[in-house]
Structures are given as structure tokens and as C-alpha cells.
Amino acid sequence: MSQPRSILEDPVSSPPIEVSDPARPADSACPRCGAPLRGDQEWCLNCGTAVTTRVAGASGWRTPMAILASLIAIALVGLVAAFLAVSNDPDEVAQAPPPTASQQAAPTAPPAAPTPEPDPITPETIPPATDGDQPPATDDDPPTAGSDTSAVGTWPAGKSAWTVVMLSSPSRAEADKKAKELQSGGTDVGVLKSDEFKSLRAGYFVVFSGEYDTEGAAEKALTSLRSNAPEAYVRRVTPR
């Protein structure tokens, strides 16, 4: 009598059945080293070759560099050509830039008011001026002691003529002293008061020499009289 079989025992032993996965790619080999590859294997584990993966190459840099170098070369050629054109042109003159609108519209300071000048005093109207304005001539200065003023001449009444002015002074004493010195040296002189003559500036006592009808005659006499009075000059004397 046979013994019963266990329910765990497979009455028929059969080999395992391999079922292919339709979604899995077929196996292949590495195109570089020939190592076997699974269908879903993208890299060769033997040599590292990319089998199904596309490796993007680095962006090229040679082309942009070549373009940049060409542009720099063209710019340098242009600069050299411009420099040669300027240096070879002898007639070229640098022009100043035109003034800008701001420069043209810049306000300028008004000119300073001119300083009023005193009325010119011609030689025909005054005797030589001394430092500063002089007060009107007076007869308050007494003659120096021992001087003989009666010997000094005076201007003829009502006569207009040319004369040689030897000295002009606001002081009567100084004028008389100079007249006496000149007269003692042989020069014929006189003293007049400029207030009495419209051709002379008031306020002076004038030591004069001679009465001449023409200016030329007075100038001729001046040549010899300057040895005694270096500052002497010719003047027209006209009574008021």
C-alpha cells in the first residue's frame, strides 16, 4: 500500500519559464569595447562610453573670438589711416571749437563807470601848478626884511602880450624874493597877480620877464633865460 503524498510536494517538477518584458529593450553590446549591455543601460560600465545618452559638446568659442579679433583689426587699420592722413596734410590747421550757447549767453559784468577827469588846463590859462590846489593869492605875506620891492617891475595896465614866466607861487614873499635874485643877476623881471588876468589861473604871484608881441619872440628869449630859471616857460597874458 502506497503512502499518501504531501500536499506541499509538486507532483510534477518543471523548469522555470522566462517571460520577456515587452517594455524592456533588447540587450546589446558596447560599440567601443564590445562588452555586453542591458537594453536599458545607457553607459558602458567597462569603458565608460555613452551608448544611448547624447553628450552635448561645449559651445564653440573660436568663432566669437575670430569675429572680435577681426573687428579690432579693422578699427586699428582705420585709426592708422586717419593718423597718416592728418600727419601728411601740411595745410590742416586745428580749429577752435565754436562757443556753446551757455558761453554765448553768459552775462558779463557791466563796465565800471569811468572816473571823471578834471577839466584839462591848457598852458594858455594857468601858470605852472604846484603840489595840491593853492588858495587864492593874497598880499598878506609881508616883504622880507630889507627887500626893495619898488625896484621890481609890474605888468603894464591893459596890455596883452606874450611873456616868459620865471616862477609861479601862491606866496608874494617867495615871488618877490625870486624876482630880486633874478634882477640882481641882470635879468629884467616883474611880478604880477594872476587874479587880474583871464588867461592865468587865479591864486598865484607870477615872476615874468618881458612883453613880446609874438609867441616866437618869447620862445627865442626863453632860450637864454632858462639858464637862470630851468623851469621857465612862455605864456600869453591877457587882462580881464
Q: What is the pLDDT of residue 51?
A: 77
Residue 126 has pLDDT above 80, yes or no: no
Distances (CA, A) of 39 to 22, 26, 32, 65, 209: 11, 5, 16, 43, 148
Question: Of 141, 198, 147, nearest to 169 (Cα)?
Answer: 141
Residue 142 has pLDDT above 50, yes or no: no
In a domain, residue 220? The reply is yes
pTM over 0.85: no
What domain range includes position 49?
A: 25-53
Question: Of 49, 57, 15, nearest to 30 (Cα)?
Answer: 49
Number of domains the chain is built from: 2
CATH of the domain at 174: 3.30.70.1070
Residue-wise pLDDT tens digits, 20-42? 555 556 678 898 898 898 878 88
| DSSP state letters, 99-165 | PPHHHHT---PPPPPPPPPPPP--TTT-----SSPPPPP-S-SPPPTT--GGGSB-PPTT--EEEEE
In a domain, residue 4? The reply is no
Domain end (from 33, 53, 73): 53
Among 7-21, 53-67, 97-111, the range of highest mean pLDDT = 53-67
Residue-wise pLDDT tens digits, 164-174? 999 999 999 99
Residue with cell 573660436: 62
In a domain, residue 100? The reply is no
In a domain, residue 34? The reply is yes
In a domain, residue 186? The reply is yes
Domain end (from 11, 34, 53): 53
In a domain, residue 178? The reply is yes
Would you say the C-alpha torsion 191, 194, 200, 201 has a positive or negative sign?
Answer: positive
Residue-wise pLDDT tens digits, 76-99? 988 888 888 877 755 544 455 555
User: What type of residue sits at position 54?
Assistant: R
Cell numbers at residue 226, please? 632858462
Cα distance between residue 207 and residue 187, in whole Å = 11
In a domain, residue 128? The reply is no
Residue with cell 499518501: 4
In a domain, residue 69? The reply is no
